[in-house]
Structure 1
């Protein structure tokens, strides 16, 4: 039987995923060009934006998996190696499978046909508040809810082409860019937005970073709070 994965390993794996995405973005940046015929070993700027989008989407997906994988383990009684213990509001689950049954309220829960809503940060915090005293280590989601909801909207725009997703993306992008016209240029892409300097919403410490990196650091910081480790680095200040 394979050894059960620990909370610490889940945290480590998630941070490795972020670092991999970060290196991908760093690798393609120098290759960006408007006219690739004039520069060897180059990518058109729109292709670079697409790579940035994919890196961001991958991290958002891994963040949702991180939330789910840690949540079901806390509910089954697991504890991080540092920090205050997560206190259950009621009895603990018998095992991880039982955690899924409890959260989903489906005794026949099957991951191949059912899914939980960890993609929704409000739902995640609501569940944490129900199952854990003071929402456990997930209480850190509350102060960062606006950014997490924006990240979900940005992810949805890349994954879906509905009018609602377009409108949500436009709302977030305008709040980040504050264009004097109050409008985005036609065909404005997620990758282009994520490539702008993070001069709004993420604090002064993030101004030197692009928005994609600001989100990466946000996820790292929150992950370190959800699974606290001795001597862990939490990224930029709250």
Structure 2
């Protein structure tokens, strides 16, 4: 069984068949258990997370009903009265037994770690694999759920870092034009990240677009000053100095 958190929550059987997870609450219980990363989630914690300040009188029974429905969906061939192999009752709560490699978010983290330790030429395909696992915003089904907020923010921060590291590896391997295309989209979505602007300016410069590179740095300075009221960091100044100094060696890493 394969599980997805990098987008809407999904479950896929070993033969590649998507699992029908049922009602939104069923999907939310599955996602909450996946976020627990192999730890038991007590029933009262599930009640608090699903209903926050307004749990109904029958909330505990409802959670048990949701879990029973998930067990039927995830293990349709499990004989009646046989304990679930995947979604176990442990003490006062539930435990989802999923290998690390069976969860897309964990595979993303592991592949990104491998890419970060690799040489640029080997890193690029690893970054592509890692970023290719994303199907949309993490935990996309639950944008307002308090329990999902911290994990969604953590995964998104890792994704943003991966985009920038991939671009840096592309620049280092002489693929500055490809990096520039990705970074133009990236800086539009994340205009407050100075590292993104520095990489974009570097990629544009290495692509023979020095004027556009300097314009990108001016845009970054303006956004930081007008929108955030902050001065640019030293990285922007260093990038501008390097660009103005003269032609760059395309084989030199983009910083």
- TM value normalised by structure 2: 0.29
> Whose relative contact order is higher, 1 or 2, with alpha carbons under 8 Å and at least 6 apart?
1
- TM value normalised by structure 1: 0.31
| Bigger radius of gyration among the two | 2
